[in-house]
Structure formats: structure tokens, C-alpha cells
Structure 1
């Protein structure tokens, strides 16, 4: 018996219409100031609940007034271009009507969280890396979303625990990572080259 379904956010239930890549531009600006950033900088952005400008200050990146305005505008443009996938709205509603619990688990920087919550305000759980301090595929983030949803993941071949599924566009984070804690992970390939191409197809498989 399936107890709940967990969704990734970007590329799965929401999409960015106009990418301006403000975080990438911020780090490039820091490099031009002689700073050397490794992947730890991205990890900081994704696991610390900092605003965009707080992150710049934390990383000691100096911003002139004009650069400040340009980067903030880029962030606002990207955030305002985010929209939900139509199939996500329908799929989540169908799962709710079938009595399943639903949640969203994603690696996100802080400014993107309110946008996701706005489009999907009535989920049974939310696990965002910037709020929890850990990123997928760390098993702790999957266990946290299950705790919030009050469901117990177990071996998806059946061991008496509820069967929990997760779907997202990352094989590493949404298919393979969840399986470490007994969640059946599924890869969503919207390019039509994989077995699951959209969320309505996925829901059909779940409810069958």
C-alpha cells in the first residue's frame, strides 16, 4: 500500500521561464575580486538560510551600488518567471483526492522557497536544503520529509512499512538517493527519452 509521494521542485513541479542565474553571476563577480570559490560556496548557498545579499556578505563579496542593483534585478526577474507545471497541479490534486500524502523535497537557495510554497501551499511536508542544512542525496533530508508527512519509509518490496515514492529530474538525488532510506525513487525525464515523461503518467502508475 502506498502511503505518500514526494516531489522534487525545479524541473518537476515548477520551472524557471527566464534564467538569469543570479547566484552564478554573484560567484563570478567574487572571482573577479580575486576570490577562489570551490563547490563549498554553492553548498553554503543551498544549506544556509541566507538572503541573496546576506550570502554576498557572508562570502565577503563586495558589491558596488550598480552591481548590487543589477544582481537584485536579475534575481527578481528569475523569481517572477517561475511557474508551476500544469501536470504537477493536476497530479498532486489527484493524489490528494486518492487519500495519499504529498510533499516537496528540494535543494533550494532561500529566496526560491516562498515561490514554491506559494504555488503548492497545502502539502503534507516540505524539506528544503536551505532550511535543514543538508542537501540531497543526504539521507537525512529524505527522512525529514517523511517525518513531516508522518509516514514511515520501508523497503519498497514490502516489509510492513508504508510504501513511499519520490519523483524528480535528477537520477542521483531523486531516483537513487531516496532508495537509501527505503523510498522508491523515480526519474522524471520530460525530454521523452525515459520511461516516465510527465507527472500524469506517473500518477497513473502510482494509483494503479
Structure 2
């Protein structure tokens, strides 16, 4: 029997309907000041438990008061536009009705954490990269959410281990990554080409014991 289910957040449970990309604009300002944008910048942002001012300080980017206000307005607009997918809460409630623990494990920048918690209240675990300081697919992220859920995962239905599932829109982070920690990962393909095209299909399969 499934003990716990872990969801990715963005692209799985929630979506940004009005993208403003404030952090991308922050890095562009840095480029204009001569700073070279690095491939590691995105990971650094998502491991930072702070806002735009802290991110600018991290990268050595100087922001005028006007620039900071403009970027903050963009961020606020983007945060306000975040909504749950129609199947998100019904899927969560379906699992909770069976007594299954539910958690979220997501890579995201600091300002998005409170928005995730407000849109997805009452979960058993929130493992968010800006708060943990680690990012998927680092095994420590999966360890973090499992510790919060108080489960010890094992993929092979060993009666001495917990059967823990995860689903998300990234094969690397939500399907293959969790397997490094004994979690049975699944890919959510909302474009309609994978096994699970929505969360109702996924939770129904759990109820039927077919995952």
C-alpha cells in the first residue's frame, strides 16, 4: 500500500499564468554592468532563501532604487498570477481521503515559497529548495521531504519499508532522481504523450494499486 505521495510544484500542481521573469531581468542588469552570466546562476537563485535584493547582493549586481522597485513589481505580478491546476486539489484530497501522506518537493526561489504554501495548505511536508539549500535531483532533497513525511522509502514493496511515490513534469528531477532514494518516480506529461496526462489519472491508478 502507498504510504506517501510527493508532488513537484510548478508544472505539476501549480502554474504561473503571467510570466514576468524578474530574475532573468536581474541577470540582464548584471550583464550590462559587465558581470558574466553563469550556468550555475539559476541553481544559486533557487538555493537562496531571500528576495531580489539578496539575489543582487549574491551576484554583486548594483540596483538603483528605481530598478529594485520595477523588479519587485514584476515579481509581485508573477506571484499573484500563480494558480493551481484544476486537478491539483481534487488529486490531493483524493489521496488524503485514503489516509496517504502528501508532500511537495520543488526547486524554486525564495519569494515563491510562501505562495506555494498558501495555495497548497495542509500538506504533510514542504521541501522547497530555497529553504533547504539543496536542489533536485540531489538525493538530499528527497531525503528532506521523506524526513518531513516520516517515511523510509523502498521501491520494491518491502513490508519493512514505505511505498513512496513521486510525480512531476521533469523526468530528471521527478521520475529518475527520486529513484536514487528509493522513491518510485513518475513523469507527468500534460501535453498528452505520457502514461499520466493529469493528476486524476495518477491518483486513480494509486487507488487501484496499479502503480
Q: Normalization by structure 1: what TM-score?
A: 0.97
Alpha-carbon distance in 2 for matches of 1:148, 1:65: 39
Distance 1:94 1:158 in 2: 22
- C-alpha displacement of 1:194: 1.0
User: How much is the aligned-residue C-alpha RMSD, in angstroms?
Assistant: 0.9
Partner of 1:71: 71
**Structure 2, gaps ≥5 residues long:** none
- Deviation of residue 66 (structure 1)? 2.6
Distance in 2, Cα, partners of 1:106 & 1:128: 5
Partner of 2:139: 139
Structure 2 residue 7 is the aligned partner of structure 1 residue 13 = no
SS in 1 for 2:87: helix
Comparing 129-138 with 37-46, greater Cα deviation is found at 37-46
Q: Which residue of 2 aligns with 1:26?
A: 26
Secondary structure at 2:40's aligned position in 1? helix
Number of positions where the alignment pairs a residue of Structure 1 with one of Structure 2: 207
Match of 1:112 in 2: 112
Quote the Cα distance in structure 1 between the aligned partners of 2:52 and 2:163: 38
Structure 2 CA distance for aligned equivalents of residues 64 and 55 of structure 1: 14
Can you list the C-alpha shifts for 1:86-123, whole angstroms capped at 9, x where unaligned?
A: 20100000100110000000001000000010011111
Instruction: Give distance in 2, aligned partners of 1:69 and 1:125.
Output: 33
**Aligned counterparts of 1:195 and 1:41: Cα–Cα separation in 2:** 33
Per mean C-alpha deviation after superposition, the further-off stretch among 46-55 and 61-70 is: 61-70
5+ unaligned residues in a row in structure 1: which ranges? none
Partner of 1:204: 204
Deviations, residues 182-204 of structure 1 (Å, cap 9, x unaligned): 10000000011111000001000
Question: Which residue of structure 1 lines up, in the alignment, with residue 103 of structure 2?
Answer: 103
Secondary structure of the structure 1 residue equivalent to 2:195? coil
- Give the Cα separation in 1 of the matches to 2:73 and 2:2: 43
SS at 2:72's partner residue? Answer: helix
2:156 matches 1:157: yes
The range that moved more, 25-34 or 40-49, is 40-49
Q: Secondary structure at the match of 1:86?
A: coil
Structure 1 residue 157, shift from structure 2 partner: 2.2
In the TM superposition, residue 29 of structure 1 has moved relative to its aligned partner by: 1.1
Shift of 1:159: 2.0
Partner of 1:169: 169
| d(CA) in 1 for partners of 2:50, 2:39 | 17
What's the CA shift string for 1:53-105, capped at 9, x where partnerless?
A: 11112211111233222211111110000011120100000100110000000
CA distance, structure 2, for counterparts of residue 54 and residue 180 of structure 1:
32
**CA contact 2:52–2:68 (8 Å) conserved in 1:** no
SS at match of 1:10: coil
